[in-house]
Amino acid sequence: MVKNKKIPLDEFLKKREQILMHWPTGSSELLDFETAKAYLKAVPDEKNFAKVLRKAKAEGKTLIQPRAGVALLDAHIELLNFLHKEGRADFLPSTIDSYTRQNRYANAEDAIKQSEKQKRSLLNGFPAVNYGVEGCQKVFEAINIPVQARHGTPDARLLSEIIHAAGWTSNEGGGISYNIPYAKSISLEDTIRYWQYCDRLVGYYAEAGIELNREPFGPLTGTLVPPSISHTIAIIEAILAAEQGVKNITVGYGQCGNINQDIAALKTLDSLTNYYLKLFGYDDVFVTTVLHQWMGGFPKDEAASMALISLGAMVATLGGATKIITKSPHESQGIPTKEANAEGLRASKIMTTLLKEQTYPKNDLLEQESDLIKKEVKTLLYATLNIGKGDFAEGVIKAFEHGLLDIPFAPSEMNQGKILPARDAEGNIRILEFGNIPFDDETKTFHKKALEKRAKLENREVSFQMTIDDIYAVSRGDLVGKALKQSKELLHEN
């Protein structure tokens, strides 16, 4: 079984030879390590993700980054430059298409051709593997700020090789966060191995004095995920990455909607990740946090979406996140036009600058929520470590198997899916069904009581219907889901 142990160099290099053969673009000379290292060393500081993050955190700034990617290279470059110039983006992404994410490079090739013919993107992202290092370097060279690959790829080994060799100084993903929400039947053992490889690659460059950033995907399914669950996954992925030599990690969190819970979550995400990294012996890892603006279903209305986006930027800034992944007013409809994408960015930007001098005041509620998160994360981390007999890699696999770790609404068969979240009366995400999540009785009672309080207020039972109502709620303009009958009335009212 896979262990949380750094891959020995020779093993890594041997593996690498195979990986590069997965698709013709893997055989590019630019993937020669010496060539790649020279290329990466020449990346100026202001285009290096890791360094820009360090600077921003030191200055207490919150920077912004969109999602964006299209099938055709020139259009992709144009899109990115537009988002930098018209959107005031601080970081650029290249969101990878869904065929590439499933390693279906042939499908992607087909869709590129179709897109060229029809002169519009038929892909939901940029097929980086098909364009290879050469294409990706074109992207890197055409823009003036750091670029990152954002995807959802269980096996991103070839993709990671290509993008880093092309000067892309950050890579999103992780063995858990790019499996459970993004796959159906791939084992965690496999994806952890795949991502150990991706991390080892970053560690390899680190040994050569090249600092690259890695970002576990925080929001998971984006659907009512309790902060302690996503924090635990983020911390474990940070530990797995650190073991492979990664030195610059951004842990993420998806806006839940209750301001107090969001701020407690962001602050504890930073402190807990730092704490546990050090506790487990990874002393020299630089940690930043990223807030993902609302990751669930968006309202159809664009003006309402702008408000939701603004609220996300607000909690990110007050919660001290170093980065925000922004949404656009087209979110509920489809991949945004570049104009709509830039609108989401500019709204976010001004929120970060307007609020940069302000802090969320210390208060009892914040402390209570933070303490709860800390306690729950501790429970989940140690349960994972215990079942893994001291090893986090092994622990994660078994923890999911036994449902000690469980992510709501995930497609993966590796996930028990017994946990059910719902919101309490103030809109905090709580847990309705624990499945096998190993919380102590006190904690469970806290969640239960919170939901009972809401149920009483709404004059109904605590039940799965609450969860469903909560899933729909934000797209209907509420945070706490109204009982279906009421919402129907509401819908007609609008």
In the annotation, is 161 catalytic? no
Nearer to ligand B12, 429 or 471 (CB): 471
| Only segment of 49-57, 179-187, 233-241, 437-445 that touches other proteins (CB under 8 A) | 179-187
Asked if 466 contacts 427 with a C-beta cutoff of 8 angstroms, the reply is no
Residue closer to ligand B12 by CB (options 301, 458) is 301
HSE-up of 228 (CA within 13 Å, CB side)?
A: 28
* 331 binding ligand B12? (CB under 6 A): yes
CB of 91 to a second copy, least distance (A): 16
Does residue 358 touch a second copy according to CB under 8 A? yes
Nearer to ligand B12, 194 or 392 (CB): 194
CA pair distance 102, 93, nearest whole angstrom = 19
Let me know: does 316 contact 64? Beta carbons within 8 Å. Answer: no
From 20-28, 92-100, 275-283, 475-483, give the range in contact with a second copy by CB under 8 A.
Answer: 475-483
300 binds, among ligand B12, a second copy, other proteins, none (CB under 5 to 8 A by kind): other proteins
Strand partners, 93: 148
Catalytic pick from 16, 54, 101, 214? 101
Sign of CA dihedral 81, 82, 86, 91: negative
HSE-CB of 373 using CA atoms within 13 angstroms: 32
Query: Encoding tokens for residue 150?
Result: 């954002």
| Dist CA 459 CA 171 (whole Å) | 47
Instruction: Say how far apart CA 330 and CA 369 lie, in whole Å.
Output: 33
Question: Which one, of 407, 421, 465, 95, lies nearest residue 257 by Cα?
Answer: 421
Annotated active-site residue in 54, 67, 161, 172? 172
List the single partner that 425 binds among a second copy, ligand B12, other proteins, none, CB under 5 to 8 Å by kind.
a second copy
Q: Does 200 bind ligand B12 (CB under 6 A)?
A: no
Question: Residue 332, interface with a second copy (CB under 8 A)?
Answer: no
Residue 294 engages other proteins in binding (rule: CB under 8 A): no
Distance of alpha carbon 169 from alpha carbon 211, whole angstroms: 8
User: Does 353 engage in binding with other proteins (CB under 8 A)?
Assistant: no
**Contacts of residue 226, Cβ cutoff 8 Å, sequence gap at least 6:** 376, 421, 429, 430, 431
In the bound state with ligand B12, the residue whose beta carbon lies nearer, of 281 and 334, is: 334
Is residue 146 a contact point for ligand B12 (CB under 6 A)? no
114 binds, among ligand B12, other proteins, a second copy, none (CB under 5 to 8 A by kind): other proteins
For 136, list phi and psi in degrees, rounded to 5: -70, -35
CA 23 to chain centre: 27
Per CB under 8 A, 411 contacts other proteins: yes
Report residue 152 as tokens: 């959802």
Q: Is 335 in the site for other proteins (CB under 8 A)?
A: yes
By beta-carbon proximity to a second copy, the closer residue of 118 and 358 is: 358
Number of residues that bind ligand B12 (CB under 6 A): 24
Please state the closest distance from residue 22 (CB atom) to other proteins, in A. 17
Strands (E), 262-327: 286-292, 323-325
The CA distances from residue 149 to 138, 146, 153, 179, 385, in Å, are 14, 10, 10, 16, 30
What is the torsion angle, in degrees rounded to the nearest 10, for the CA atoms of residue 203, residue 204, residue 208 and residue 213? -40
State yes or no: residue 67 binds a second copy (CB under 8 A): no
Among 39, 298, 400, 439, binds ligand B12 (CB under 6 A): 298
Is 246 within 8 Å of 203 (Cβ atoms)? yes
Show contacts with other proteins in window 152-171 (CB under 8 A): 152
145 touches other proteins (CB under 8 A)? no
Active-site residue, 207 included: no
With binding defined as CB under 8 A, does residue 181 bind other proteins? yes
For residue 95, state whether it binds ligand B12 (rule: CB under 6 A): yes
- State the residue for tokens 């969109």: 66
Active-site positions read 101, 172
Residues that bind a second copy (CB under 8 A): 88, 257-260, 299, 301-304, 306-311, 313-314, 318, 342-351, 353-359, 361-366, 425-427, 474, 477-480, 494
Residues that bind ligand B12 (CB under 6 A): 67, 95, 98, 101, 124-125, 152, 181-182, 221-223, 295-298, 330-332, 334-335, 409, 411, 471
